[in-house]
Amino acid sequence: MSLSSHPKAYGTAAVAVAFVAGVLVTLGFKDFYPDLERRYQQAKKQRAITRRRSHRNSLAVSDADTARRRSSFFWGPVQLEDHEEAVGGESDLGSQLPPAAGPVVGIEGCIGNTPLVEIKSLSDATGRTILAKAEFLNGAGNSPKDRVALSMIQTAEAEGLLVPGRGDTIYEGTVGSTGISLAALARAKGYRAHICMPDDQAMEKSDLLHHLGATVERVRVAPITSPDHFVNLARRRARDHTEAADTDSRGFFADQFESGANWLAHFRSTGPEIFYQTGGRVDAFVAGAGTGGTISGVAKYLKEEAKLEDLRVVLADPQGSGLYNKVKYGVMYSATEKEGTRRRQQVDTIVEGIGINRITHNFNAGRDYISNAVKVSDEQACRMARWLVEHDGIFVGSSSSVNCVAAAVTAMSLPEGSQVVTVLCDSGTRHLSKFWKRIAEMGLEDEPKPDDLFEALGIKPVQNASK
């Protein structure tokens, strides 16, 4: 008797077939088709590389859709997908930043996705969690300016202002870090770099620029109104290069103070990274301002895109800078502008990289979101730098120390358990001959290890139990 002539036997066989098929599905395609998982993971890595090559995603902002791979089974094509849960509850902003996988392409692939580190000694001292974006771990120039430099170069390339292989030169006026980032990326992308910087900056910076193949002009300190100010000189050098009749190459003035590519770099990368790494829980963001790109870009992202309405954005300002009074009282003013005390360089501080007496385009971009400012003296910055070494093994430069002082002060104005994020900009190795030399001259390295943070800083913290 054939199977087809016996309905009961036919039904039993059909159930058996269905059961076997169900087992195969339950075990998953990886066991049935061992090569599927391997090919799927390879495809994920390749997509990660492709994302890094694109302009919008090279700084770690990628599409929310990830990991697709097609295979086949008895009944046709099957699509595997990663559906990552959005960070921070209902918002899917955090899902823009998947973990890096596989190799990256070029030195520019090492920019971004820096760790967010809890500075435990500061958290213990304040009773609030203080986190710092370790921007000195960016892989090109080892500072947050890596993001800015890459953004400015990519924008110029998109606009046809820079063309690889044409002999173009990137010109910039900088106190060091932006120039270092530009010099490293210029070499990697087929350009030359010409850096103008004031002659009162640490020699380590200009030495490093030379070793990176850049032309360096150290110029006498001059006000921004002078044609010989380092920024104005760089602008003029770029114009003269482009107008020269004996070359087809062009000079490109990066213009970090006024270029919108500056704050956009932090809006597109640093801000989303902070949101992702904190799970959307940020009570205050504290940063200094030189060009103003970091504080504006991060503030705009966290306020406008992440919708952190209660977030406090606080400026960390060194002595001699006028931004503190601009934020607090609406007037650009510093004590060095008093009659009879006006100095050749109004921002008279040992701190490098932050502090300024004018409003730049980049600072203005996020100015409305900056709700408070903390003034930090040179002595407080020096004492914080030593504190971080002694208690946390963190060796950073002057601007990072200013940020940490302001973060600790800000933390004490927030309820216990609040979370404050700041920035560690660059390593102390770039500040040996100036900032760290001053610390040694103050005798701080010979003093006993300080036990009380605010006593060491000479600050009486004002505590506030409410936001």
Active site residues: 145
For 240, residues 6+ apart whose C-beta sits below 8 A from its C-beta are 251
- The number of beta carbons lying within 10 Å of the beta carbon of residue 223 is 12
Complete edge-to-edge strand list for the sheet that includes strand 419-424: 116-118, 129-134, 419-424, 284-287, 312-318, 370-376
C-alpha closest to that of 110 among 150, 141, 139, 143 = 139
Beta strand 419-424 with 370-376 is: unpaired
CB-hemisphere CA count at 13 Å for 112? 30
- The number of beta carbons lying within 10 Å of the beta carbon of residue 256 is 28
Beta bridge partners of 373: 315
- 80-105 core/surface letters (b: 16 or more CB in 10 A; e: else): beeeeeebbeeeebbbbbbeeeeebe
C-alpha closest to that of 416 among 125, 133, 119, 132 = 125
Please tell me the distance from the alpha carbon of residue 134 to that of residue 436, in angstroms, as a whole number. Answer: 20
